[in-house]
Amino acid sequence: MNTKIVVTQYGGAEALEVVEEPLRRPGKGEVRIQVQCAGVALSDIMRREGKYPGSPTPPFTPGYDAVGIVDAVGEGVHDYTVGERVCVFYHGTGGYAAYAYAPASDLVRVPESVDAGQAVAVILNYVTAYQMLHRFARVSAGDRLLIHGASGGVGTALLELGRLAETTMYGTASAAKHPIVSQYGAMPIDYRTEDFVQVVQRLAPGGVEAVFDPIGGTNWQRSMTTLSRQGRFIGYGYTSVLGEAKTEDWLTDWRALAEGQRTASGNPAYMYSITTLHRERPDWFREDLGVLFGWLERGIIDPLVSHRIPIRDAACAHQLLQQSQAAGKVVLTAL
């Protein structure tokens, strides 16, 4: 039997239901994966609540990423054999399952020696951070970066990769998570008690070379005021929809910046979506994931996995993220 999590209706964590269904044989060109770990993301919560643009209609299984062992292969699959360790990246749905199915063409091999939870963190969080840093912001040693949500999954990935790139970093986070931000060599800013604009203006009077902002709304506008003349703004989410903001606000703001590609002051602005880029440049995804898996295997990066939760308790994982009680990556375990 396959244990999977299904969003039965838009709503809170109680909308996540544990479902048992018979395993099926993989179809032509398809592979069945016995999942070791699947990743949890804030975007999963947005889809569960129906606040993510284009949220699927329930019932659906959330999840971007999974790492596991090839369990069965369909007709015509010759590149993978039973027992190999692989990963798959979904476009937001499919990962929360003990057995996952994917076209063989979508799989990437995972080094045998690496931890499954850390490998899952690399697939979504580290590829996102790597591509924003190097393919969009194109950071250089000595650049000053402002990283919002610095203690989260993508935030800690940005901090670790930013440190490797020898940048100077400022990261917003709650006071309880400042030690995490500091351990990557970044200057923590308490977003609850400090005005990050004032702090950055004091610490970096000329402005920062790049801002990474997943919050949206007025936070985007305030972030843009911290940029230097050569500064680049990268928006990659709109977590404010989990509060007062509406999906319509997200779509309006995102489209305006995506089309104009400039801030009000004329700085370059990039709207980053890993799913969009994965569709448009799958070669970049494979190349960047290969680099990062190599770094993980050699111990150059050490992704922070704060919680490992059995897949049946996915609702608890969502609550941890939604209540900001987790740092780094939260993963579901199935093996």
pLDDT tens digits, one per residue of 168-188: 999 999 999 999 999 999 999
- What's the confidence (pLDDT) of residue 244? 82
Segment 41-47 shows an average pLDDT of: 97
Has residue 22 got a pLDDT over 90? yes
CA separation for the pair 248, 294 (Å, rounded): 40
- What's the confidence (pLDDT) of residue 335? 79
- CA angle 100/101/106 to nearest 5° reads 115
Segment 7-34 shows an average pLDDT of: 97
CA separation for the pair 56, 149 (Å, rounded): 26
Within 8 A by CB and 6+ apart from 282, the residues are none
Domains of the chain, CATH where assigned: 2-110+304-333 (3.90.180.10), 122-276 (3.40.50.720)
- What's the confidence (pLDDT) of residue 101? 98
Percent of the chain surpassing pLDDT 70: 100
CA separation for the pair 332, 60 (Å, rounded): 17
Segment 23-29 shows an average pLDDT of: 97
Among positive and negative, which fits the CA dihedral 94, 54, 103, 157? negative
Amino acid letter at 321?
L
Within 8 A by CB and 6+ apart from 319, the residues are 13, 325
Segment 29-37 shows an average pLDDT of: 98
pTM of the model: 0.97
| Cβ 270 vs Cβ 261: under 8 Å | yes
| Cβ 39 vs Cβ 62: under 8 Å | no
Tokens 């309006």 map to which residue? 252
CA separation for the pair 335, 320 (Å, rounded): 21
CA separation for the pair 299, 57 (Å, rounded): 41
Q: Which residues pair with 147 in a beta bridge?
A: 171, 212
Cβ neighbourhood burial of 228 (10 Å; 0-12, 13-18, 19+)? middle
Model confidence band, residue 119 (pLDDT cutoffs 50, 70, 90): very high
